[in-house]
Amino acid sequence: MYIQPNIEKRVKKFLSVSEKNMGDALGISFTSFKSDEVKATMPVSENTIQPFGFLHGGASVALAETLASIGAWLNIEKENKTAVGVEINANHVRAAKKGETVYGVSTPIHKGRQTQVWETKIFNEDEKLVCVSRCTLAIIDI
């Protein structure tokens, strides 16, 4: 796993205090944390497929929002704030089959003090685009 040096302390805190969550249930595994890019993998398994054996669009959206939320949170300067999704859209452009692994790459479009917008692209093992998503996040007090 790669962690950008200037955010290492924040990432380690996140990894140490993070409760069990949807990402765990879906098998999301982070591979890289940077202030302008967050990456993770997700298996296409019984937890992430639709009834016909292909990656469920909702699982893709969950991966996208997870990456966007963490990316936004890494860019919040105040400790008493967090990022929450307020809008997300996704275009599913290619199927991924059970047994494969997909990976997502999330990058910022806008990093403001009250809102952030992140784009996530999800690829299959052949590096072909499976889904592209845009997520708007609100920065709120916790």
Catalytic residues: 65
Pairing type for strands 101-111 and 81-92 reads unpaired
The Cα-based distances of 83 to 14, 44, 77, 103, 141 in angstroms read: 13, 27, 12, 22, 9
Q: Which residue has the tokens 């590096």?
A: 127
- Measured over the CA atoms of residue 23, residue 53, residue 129 and residue 1, the dihedral's sign is positive
Q: How many residues does the chain have?
A: 142
Q: Which residues of 34-62 are buried (b: 16+ CB within 10 A; e: fewer)?
A: beebbbbebbbeeebbeeeebbbeebbbb
Count the neighbouring beta carbons within 10 Å of the beta carbon of residue 20.
7
